[in-house]
Amino acid sequence: MNKEEKYITRHKPKSQKIGNSISFPHLGKVPKGIGARGVGGLSATNLTKRFGNFTAVDRITFEVKQGEIFGFLGANGAGKTTAMRMLCGLLKPTSGEATVAGFDVFKEQEEIKKNIGYMSQKFSLYENMTVRENIEFFGGVYGLKMSEIKPRMDSLLNKLEFTDVRDKLVQSLPLGWKQKLAFSTAIFHEPQIVFLDEPTSGVDPVTRRQFWDLIYDASERGITVFVTTHYMDEAEYCNRISLMVDGRIEALDTPKNLKTEHNANSMNEVFYALARKAKRVE
């Protein structure tokens, strides 16, 4: 079992009241969320992670507002996944401060896990379980009762047009379908914020657009979306983006402002201008 899997199996919140504020699948209603503090965004100050002498994330400071779609960009090895894992309460920071949905990443990691959804770069679903079993499993992990899971599962399967494949093994599904399902299970418990690590990598252009429809749906329901991607057209779909270079945040703004500032026609050009300043070695 890798760390992500462990997290998911280990993490079974003891008592959990979802309440009846869940609006799924109807749009437009902002869910109250589970967290007592109810601040759906996040903020980090000088957040740092070192592995031995190597500083993977180097004093990053930024804020994400509730309901925002925030794109977290950067070249390979810039430190995106490492930063995200700290924010999800999966990896202990070396120094700095951060709160996610109002909870402290040092002291309240368990609270954070309950209030977020996370779709990792590597692991997101059990390949040898069926679609239905995965939904039931993840619903259970987040403390939903079977009676709550059932109706939500039905409307989810309907919405994704997955009714025909509900009893198929996940491994038999095309990648793009898996990713849509993984995203839906990551927000099945209506978290305040969802972290998506390269959710569309390898997904074809048509399915990627469907995936982004799901992201917009979630965002309209008030779920904050924190997403990494290497597709620069997707960067354009974010409200704001940050660009990480060598563990630091080099730029942070709306796509429009970044393009203006760098005198660029596309986010691709902005990325070229900034991302290759990377210099670091072991």
Ligand X SMILES: Nc1ncnc2c1ncn2[C@@H]1O[C@H](COP(=O)(O)OP(=O)(O)OP(=O)(O)O)[C@@H](O)[C@H]1O
Q: Which is nearer to other proteins, 154 or 272 (CB)?
A: 272
* Residue 233 touching other proteins (CB under 8 A): yes
Evaluate the omega torsion of the peptide bond into residue 25 and state whether it is cis, within 30 degrees of 0: yes
Q: Does 4 bind other proteins (CB under 8 A)?
A: no
Question: For the chain, first and last CA: distance in Å?
Answer: 28
Tokens 């299970």, residue located: 185
Least separation in angstroms between CB 226 and other proteins:
17
* Residues in 154-183 that interact with other proteins by CB under 8 A: 171-177
Distances (CA, A) of 275 to 5, 64, 173, 236: 32, 21, 34, 17
> Cα separation of 99 and 38, whole Å?
12
Burial label, 93 (beta-carbon count in 10 A; 0-12, 13-18, 19+): buried
Give the binding site for ligand X (CB under 6 A). 51, 54, 56, 74, 76-82, 121
Q: Which is nearer to ligand X, 134 or 200 (CB)?
A: 200
Sign of the Cα pseudo-torsion (261, 265, 271, 274, in order): negative
Instruction: Pick the closer one to Mg ion by CB: 74 or 96.
Output: 74
Contact flag: residue 82 with Mg ion (CB under 5 A) = no
In terms of CB distance, is 188 or 231 closer to other proteins? 231
Instruction: Say if CB 32 and CB 58 are below 8 A apart.
Output: no
Q: Phi then psi for 184, rounded to 5 degrees?
A: -65, -35
Token pair recorded at residue 262: 């760098």
Q: Judged by CB, which is closer to other proteins: 84, or 252?
A: 84
Question: Which of the stretches 33-41, 76-84, 111-119, 185-193 binds other proteins when contact is defined by CB under 8 A?
Answer: 76-84
Kindly state whether residue 109 participates in binding Mg ion, applying the rule CB under 5 A: no
Residue 164 CB, shortest distance to ligand X, in Å, is: 34
CA 208 to chain centre: 15
Considering beta carbons, is residue 80 or 113 the nearer one to ligand X? 80
In this structure, what token pair is assigned to residue 49? 């992670």
Can you give the binding site for Mg ion, defined by CB under 5 A? 80-81, 121
Can you give the binding site for other proteins, defined by CB under 8 A? 51, 74-78, 80-81, 121-122, 171-177, 198, 201-207, 209, 212, 216, 230-233, 236-237, 255-256, 266-268, 271-272, 275-276, 280-282
